[in-house]
Amino acid sequence: EVQLVESGGGLVQPGGSLRLSCAASGFAFSNHVMNWVRQAPGKGLEWVSSLTGNGENTYYADSVKGRFTISRDNSKSTVHLQMNSLRAEDTAVYYCVRRSWPWGPFDIWGQGTMVTVSS
Amino acid sequence: EVVLTQSPATLPLSPGERATLSCRASQSITNYLAWYQQKPGQAPRLLIYDASNRATDIPARFSGSGSGTDFTLTISSLEPEDFAVYYCQQRSSWPLTFGGGTKVEVK
């Protein structure tokens, strides 16, 4: 079964850091661009970051550039999102998402992990 | 940045009725548009990719059309499980963007 399972969410103070992880299974992980998409409470979807299969090319939304870092370990089929200098507006459910072919649509989504930034 | 504008924001319909959802892009995205369905408490699910291609296991009552800047998602006859929020998303250029969503609700 193709599956993505996120972990690492929680409550963090403004200015703090958090590292999200996503464990993939059931597919050739290194062949796919992996992504993070977030959804603030009651709001729509926002793309956050993407990373190519070989780990060489990264892409970020302007809202997180310079604060978030995406990385992957193809030997463990995992992708991470290191989030620093967190702000209240980063509060959201963070989804780990696979692109269906190198630059295709988002075809597989994890269940999401909640990040709350609050004092 | 490509801005996607979805309309209407809310669409009240009854089971069995036809639903027509619109997504308009601020510039041409050729056919690089996808549609997703999201139910409360669940992750989004891919319905349509490249404007008109149904994703795996998506029922035939869902169809997509359009190119350039104007796109439509049609649900031919609403089933009870189709009442949800629908998002469009473009992959034509960075940053990847989503529309604000259309909520299909029971009338």
Give the model confidence (pLDDT) of B41-75 as tens digits: 999 999 999 999 999 999 999 999 999 999 999 99
| Cα separation, A13 vs B47, whole angstroms | 37
Whether the per-residue pLDDT at B93 is higher than 90: the answer is yes
| Cα separation, B53 vs A78, whole angstroms | 29
For residue A100, which residues of chain B lie inside 8 Å, CB to CB?
46, 49
**Inter-chain touch B55–A107, beta carbons under 8 Å:** yes
pLDDT band with cut points at 50, 70 and 90 for residue A101: confident
| Cα separation, A25 vs B3, whole angstroms | 33
Percent of chain A scoring above 90 in pLDDT: 97
For residue B43, which residues of chain A lie inside 8 Å, CB to CB?
95, 109-112
pLDDT band with cut points at 50, 70 and 90 for residue A65: very high
**Inter-chain touch B43–A109, beta carbons under 8 Å:** yes
Distance of CA B54 to the CA centre of its chain: 12
Whether the per-residue pLDDT at A102 is higher than 90: the answer is no
| Cα separation, A34 vs B43, whole angstroms | 16
